[in-house]
Structure 1
Amino acid sequence: MSTLTDHEPLSQPQRVQSFQALAKSALELLYQHRLMTTDQLHRLLTPGARGSSYLRRQLATLEEAGLVHRLRAQGESSGSNRLNQPYVWFLTEEGADAVEQAAEVFSRRYRVTPDSAASTRQAHTLAVNEVGIAFVTHARRLGHDCTPLSWTPEVAHRIRDGMRRFEDDHVISDSVLHYVHVHRGARTMLNLFIELDRATMTTADLAKKVSAYGRLYEFVPQHPDRARRSAASTRPAWQHTYPAFPRLLIILDGAASPTLAKRLADRTEDLYTLTRVDPRLARLARHLSVGVTTLQQLREQGPFGRIFTPLLRGTPEERHPSTDMLLRHPGAAGPARPPPARPQPR
């Protein structure tokens, strides 16, 4: 049996298999989540380590092998010193091909390029990662099941027949997250639509996107041959993917200052008002679970804190109090509430 020498070039699958397990996990995360900072990879892959030096050595090895690339994250303003910004990592074309050949993953046509990594979409992608990391962090604390690969970014769902623009025929979730609540041996599987709002669209446009999820709930694809329709072909499209319609969680990014907190509270109030008067959402209020919180609250208290403001319920005079991510209707049964979150070291 032949062996590889130090001077013999490795094929891409062989390269991936020869790296440490940590490096391979980093490749898989970057393949699924597209862009991640060093700190985000550290919190997901080496949360118990004092620092990220070992992880950074692994990333440097991957970079030398031509499998990953890095660039400085964009600052909050054009005047920010780029050298003070953290590194953002993404796979090269060679790295994406290597993951597809060496790991059991669903192949994705999307490829990150240096131009797309440095685009204005970068901050949004990294913020969506922060939502996923908050779920993973608190799931670890609570003994629930939510892994670094439990969310998938930018999942498109068809909401009407036809051949219009892709954006008109689909609602694109910022991510779909899978979470397993564990209590006394009982496992409750939850699917969640995640919408991360950085106030880059108007509240009216955000309300329209919530309404698009109502369209998704009702959408039944038309079979091209009416005579061959079956019971399965008359079911809503989402039932072919999800056992129950996922809860929709809207995460407002920010609330780091009293002024910003007030703006986000006003945005929540406006969204509550706009969704209440939407005819489709009013008709489906009993079937849809929609909640709003901030990224800061999600990080600090976790998804089982009373941090979500339910939409589509009550009247302005009779508002339902904040609840956890289960968004249970009053009187509804559900998994037992986990203990409150402990303060997390920053």
Structure 2
Amino acid sequence: MTTPVLSPAPGLPRLGQQLLPVLYQHRLVATGQLHRMLTPHTRRPVYLRRVLQELRGLGLVECTVRRAGKLGGPELLWFVTPRGAEIVEASREVTARAYRISPETAASQLQEHTLAVVESGLAFTTWARTYRDECGPLDWEPELVHRVRDGENRVGDDALLIPDAVLRYTRVTPNGRRLLTYFLEIDRATMQVGRLGRKLTSYARYATYVPAPPPGHRATARAAGREAWRDRYPAVPRLLIVLTGASETVLRRRTEDLRALADADARVRLTPQLAVGITTLEQLVSHGPFAPVVTPLLGDPTPTDVLLAPQAA
């Protein structure tokens, strides 16, 4: 017997149809984040909460309580159930992912990192409305895999690059539209700075990585010497490291340490194709990506914006 193609539950409101792919793609999202994403025109998320409970009653989403809310009180975090995931995948609205968040994972210590990734993407979405640019709730994807080295059965940090998210943003100016792509790396000051420095090497390697042809195959004229990123992006994505989870003093020292590590790494220093900047989540949220809130990884530390171009004098 063939499995029937699933479709959204009858009578599901439009907001419910928007919520399912957002929760599927971003895995775990707080009620307040969903409010700013999907219903920013309302003062309070009363209708949003009602629709979430309706989805929960249909067995399409579930929730857990945040381990440590910003205001010290409880906060609900939402994720899709297996049935909700099947409905999203059947709609083909977003890229299907093998990953499934379980109730145990949703309640684990991974909460804060997952929410910080969402908050970083949401900062771009929120400010895009102010700038009249384009960046919606589905315009960043978490943990997309990129190969950075050839060889069979090669796994782990040495062969794969997995950014916390890949974000696409369309900047609209009087001179036209500009498509920007970012690798987002979220650092909550829980990882040794040296480990984050080694990940910078992987980003530099990806910027110049040319895949070898499969064994027994000869590279075509088109593929010979062609970097892997060209099959996925119009240009090498800029890398934005977003620091959070510690005091301003600690994050400032972390920025200085990362700049020192990058300056000592020949691969990073000699890969001009990769533009890298460091900011804090607080600055990104408060002032926006096109304010001077980004410290370049290399060279002059004068703050610039996410375009990582020198500010005009």
- Which TM class, normalised by the smaller chain length? over 0.9
Q: Deviations over 1:168-194 (max 9, x none)?
A: 311110000000000126100000000
Secondary structure of 2:145's aligned partner: strand
| TM-aligned CA deviation for residue 119 of structure 1 | 2.0
Q: 1:264 aligns with which of 244, 248, 251?
A: 251
Q: 1:300 to 1:108 in 2, by over 3 A?
A: same
User: Aligned pairs, how many?
Assistant: 307
Counterpart of 2:99 (choices 110, 113, 117) is 110
Cross-structure match for 2:124: 135
Given that 1:254 and 1:261 are in contact with CA atoms closer than 8 Å, whether structure 2 keeps it comes out as no
Cα distance in structure 1, aligned partners of 2:282 and 2:311: 26
Q: TM-score, normalised by structure 1?
A: 0.84
**1:56-79, CA deviations, whole angstroms, 9 ceiling, x for partnerless residues?**
0000000000000011011279xx
Please give the alpha-carbon distance, in whole angstroms, between the structure 2 residues aligned to 1:237 and 1:60. 44
Q: Which residue of 2 aligns with 1:13?
A: 7
5+ unaligned residues in a row in structure 1: which ranges? 1-10, 314-318, 332-346
| Aligned twin of 2:22 | 29
**Alpha-carbon spacing, 1:12–1:65, altered in 2? closer, same or farther (3 Å):** farther
Q: Distance in 1 between matches of 2:115 and 2:266?
A: 34
| 2:49 corresponds to | 56
TM-score by length of 2: 0.93
Whichever residue aligns with residue 163 of structure 2, its letter is S
Give the deviation of 1:13 after TM superposition. 1.0
Q: Which residue among 157, 166, 179 is the counterpart of 1:167?
A: 157
Of 296, 305, 308, 2:282 maps to 296
Give 3-state SS (helix, strand or coil) of 2:101's partner: coil
Q: Which residue of 2 aligns with 1:3?
A: none
Choose 165-174 or 57-66, whichever is displaced more.
Answer: 165-174
Residue 98 (structure 1) shift: 1.1
| Moved segments of 4+, more than 4 Å | none
Instruction: Give the structure with higher Rg (CA).
Output: 1
* AA of the residue aligned to 1:249: L
Q: Percent identity over the alignment?
A: 43
Task: Give per-residue Cα distances to partners, 1:131-174, cap 9 Å, x unaligned.
Answer: 01110111000100010111001111100012222333111100
CA distance in 1, matches of 2:240, 2:291: 14
How far residue 329 of structure 1 moved from its aligned partner, in angstroms, is 5.2
AA paired with 1:278?
D
Deviation readout 1:247-294 (Å, 9 max, x if unpaired)? 100000146xxxx1111101100110110010111211x222100010
Counterparts of residues 305-316 of structure 1 (less than 5 Å): 305-313=291-299
Instruction: Name the SS for the 1:194 alignment partner.
Output: strand
Cα 1:146–1:227 shift into 2, 3 Å: closer
Residue 220 (structure 2) aligned to one of 210, 229, 247: 229
Relative distance call for 1:228 and 1:158 in structure 2 (3 A) is closer
CA RMSD, Structure 1 to Structure 2 (Å): 2.0
CA deviation after TM superposition for structure 1 residue 120, in Å: 1.7
Whole-angstrom distance in 1 between the partners of 2:117 and 2:162: 13
Shift of 1:320: 3.8
